[in-house]
């Protein structure tokens, strides 16, 4: 293991979940391998990590998830075939996502005991260093990697830093919610957090999403954290256990988060990332206009094709 440093250079990816909300697609395919346009979710997450300066990635996997590691290995037969047929563009795409040897590691979470337990499975990997946690279900579109924004705040303030966004009060029971002590509109200092509180008792509507930069004390606290909400070992409980000695901040990051653990969020992500690509934007925009014109047309009223094609562009387009 490389020498201990205070720089954030390791990231943990808890990827052992079953993906039940996407069955039957995830019966044999890991949910992190579901593609947004033409790249799987796990690749977006790993690329964000490396772009933020992370050097080593640890996948905490489960049964049937070996494909996540395989994805970042060479495919000799496919690569040879692409070279033989002079398919330079797809070959470049394939090789462009290939990390350096030894930078992707994996371990197993042998039982589904919660996010905190999954992170704890990587304790030998993180050693006594600060580390990041990335949940690939949260796909973030931004000019600057979300994780890089968190690391910048961590370098300035230390302790534990999480990505946050405002949620509707009715949605607090789906998130870890910050108990805010001070807030400058971008960075909120928290006195604590509550895991999945009901709206009537939620301390705020500032919710943690799947990006964390954590002090090694959190990993130490996980060693003694007992099951909490939902009978699982919660990462938020371990963070709370360090509040007497470590500051805790939530960052309203610059970017747009897509909840790809949700079907609508996953579809939204595909649309947004496709519309951002010059090779797909115009054709997709036209298809969306035609489709939405059909949806908006009163039942029993046909709209001439010419009218559909010249419909008012969608605001998002």
| DSSP letter for each residue of 233-260 | --HHHHHHTTTTTS-EEEEE-SSEEEET
pLDDT at 305: 43
pLDDT at 41: 97
- What the block records as the tokens of 87 is 């398919």
- What are the φ and ψ backbone dihedral angles of 86, each rounded to 5 degrees? 55, 40
189 beta partners = 182, 249
Per-residue pLDDT tens listing for the chain (317 residues)? 343 447 899 999 999 988 889 999 988 889 999 999 999 999 999 999 999 999 999 999 998 888 999 999 988 999 899 998 999 998 888 888 789 889 999 999 988 889 999 999 999 999 999 999 999 999 999 999 999 999 999 999 999 999 999 999 999 999 999 999 999 999 999 998 888 999 999 999 999 999 999 999 999 999 988 887 778 899 999 999 999 999 999 999 999 999 999 999 999 999 999 999 999 999 999 999 998 887 766 665 554 443 333 333 344 44
pLDDT at 3: 39
d(CA 276, CA 278): 7
- CB 232: neighbour CB atoms within 10 A? 17
- What the block records as the tokens of 131 is 């580390």
DSSP 127: T
- CB 44: neighbour CB atoms within 10 A? 23
pLDDT at 301: 56
* Class of the CATH-defined domain 10-275: alpha beta
E strand or H helix at 41: helix 41-51
d(CA 116, CA 106): 17
pLDDT at 171: 94
List the domain boundaries for the chain.
10-275, 279-317
- SS3 category, 150: helix
């Amino acid at each position: 293991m490389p020498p201990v440093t205070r720089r954030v250079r390791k990231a943990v990816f808890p990827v052992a979940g079953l993906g039940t909300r996407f069955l039957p697609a995830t019966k044999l395919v890991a949910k992190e391998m579901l593609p947004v346009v033409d790249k799987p979710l796990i690749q977006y997450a790993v690329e964000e990590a490396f772009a933020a300066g992370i050097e080593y990635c640890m996948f905490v996997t489960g049964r049937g998830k070996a494909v996540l590691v395989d994805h970042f290995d060479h495919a000799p037969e496919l690569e040879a075939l692409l070279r033989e047929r002079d398919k330079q563009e797809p070959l470049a795409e394939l090789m462009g996502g290939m990390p350096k040897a030894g930078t992707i590691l994996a371990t197993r979470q042998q039982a589904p005991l919660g996010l905190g337990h999954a992170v704890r499975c990587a304790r030998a990997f993180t050693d006594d260093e600060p580390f990041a946690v990335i949940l690939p279900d949260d796909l973030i579109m931004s000019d600057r990697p979300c994780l890089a924004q968190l690391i910048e705040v961590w370098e300035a303030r230390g302790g534990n830093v999480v990505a946050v966004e405002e949620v509707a009060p009715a949605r607090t029971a789906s998130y870890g919610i910050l108990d805010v002590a001070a807030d400058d509109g971008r960075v909120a200092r928290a006195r604590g957090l509550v895991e999945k509180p009901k709206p009537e008792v939620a301390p705020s509507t500032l919710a943690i999403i799947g990006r964390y930069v954590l002090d090694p004390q959190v990993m130490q606290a996980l060693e003694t954290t007992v099951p909490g909400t939902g009978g699982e070992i919660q990462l938020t409980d371990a963070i709370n256990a360090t509040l007497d000695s470590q500051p805790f901040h939530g960052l309203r990051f610059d970017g747009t988060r897509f909840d790809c653990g949700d079907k609508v969020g996953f579809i939204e992500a595909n649309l947004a990332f496709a519309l951002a690509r010059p090779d797909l934007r115009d054709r997709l925009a036209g298809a969306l206009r035609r489709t939405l014109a059909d949806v908006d047309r009163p039942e029993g009223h046909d709209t001439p094709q010419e009218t559909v094609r010249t419909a008012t562009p969608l605001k998002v387009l």
